[in-house]
Amino acid sequence: MSTKLRLGVLLSGSGTNLQALIGAIGTGRLDAEIVVVISNVADAYGLTRASAAGIPTVVVDHHAFPSRPDFDAQLVEHLRNHGAELVVLAGFMRLVTATLLGAFPARVLNIHPALLPAFPGLHAERQALAHGVTITGVTVHFVDEETDHGPILVQAAVPVRPDDTEDTLHARTQAQEHRIYPLAVQLIAEGRVRIDGRRVVVTDARIDPERALINPAPERAEDT
């Protein structure tokens, strides 16, 4: 068996984040292997992307199960059958339960299109526009039993434009998702990530403490 980190990806939709992971593996930026892609939606385009990349796919229709834990138990079985070590939620539109989290303790990641803890839940970009923030972003975090709540691994900030619509803002947040999800998984693949309560500690993290995103940007060079 290869020594690469074995990923099980769960999705419900288009799968552009899956595509970003596939791309990063292809170019060697992510030292991992996607061993299975599981969807609760039979015609999710992410499954087509997975098949095109030669990745095994499984459909588990949540309607077929009497409870969320029963559904999760089926997910766990498929993930284990394929030898997944890290579970990567990539647009998976189901709440996961202790059944999945207990089977993969501190080994379930999610990506959310806002700077958590701001704007959890659905339509994060719509929430950000409605609130009037000038900076929003993207968060990769470990999953716990509360929605969009677990310890935060990587965030990217995205400036909001005055003329943004939900769609234009979504396009720019997604572009950052596609950058930071592979980065976050690679940190785990390198064994550099430890969870300490709510905080995630990354060994030898590159941090530029002088750098800030200011929006609207300062007009004078000396203020930037």
Residues with catalytic annotation? Answer: 112
Smallest distance from ligand GRF to CB 167, Å: 12
With CB atoms as reference, the residue minimizing the distance to ligand GRF is 91
Minimum CB distance to ligand GRF smaller for 11 or for 185: 11
User: What is the rounded CA–CA span in Å between residue 44 and residue 212?
Assistant: 38
CB of 177 to ligand GRF, least distance (A): 5
CA 4 to chain centroid, in Å, comes to 19
Cβ closest to ligand GRF, residue 95 vs residue 201:
95
- Cα dist. 50→21, 114, 177, 218 in Å? 11, 26, 18, 44
Closer to ligand GRF by CB, 8 or 15: give it.
15
SS3 177: helix
CB 147, min distance to ligand GRF, A: 11
Per DSSP, the chain holds a count of helices (H) and strands (E) of: 6, 9
| Footprint on this chain of ligand GRF (rule: CB under 6 A) | 11, 13-17, 46, 90-91, 111-113, 174, 177
The span from the CA of 39 to the CA of 59, in Å, is 5
